[in-house]
Amino acid sequence: MMQILDLISDKLINWTENKFESLEFKIEKLDTETIPLLLASKHINDDYKTILIYLHLDGQPVDLSKWNQENPFTPVYKLKENGNFTRL
């Protein structure tokens, strides 16, 4: 089973690395004891602010009943008041 997971992980990492490279990102692969980390960077202009985006490849199934919005994959702005979130 672990060999299958390793193969899937390798394919995901290779696909992600190739995708970022096709978008002209500089890629650094950082080896770890488990799955390597990918650091993708792209310099546009010194006058622009830095944007950091974090993502991971080992996604889990989504339980739609646990979300208080129509689609958990569509970003929305919310305000938290008294422990409850209100969509802005």
How would residue 56 be classed by pLDDT, with cut points 50, 70 and 90? Answer: confident
User: Using one digit for the tens of pLDDT, what is the confidence trace for 22-38?
Assistant: 999 999 988 888 778 88
* Range among 5-14, 24-33, 48-57 with highest mean pLDDT value: 24-33
* 8 A C-beta contact, residue 41 and residue 52: no
Question: Residue 26: what pLDDT?
Answer: 94
Q: Is the pTM of this model over 0.85?
A: no
Per-state percent for the chain, helix, strand, coil, to nearest 5: 25, 20, 50
- Nearest in space to 38 (alpha carbons), one of 4, 14, 7: 14
> 20: which 2 tokens?
């970022």
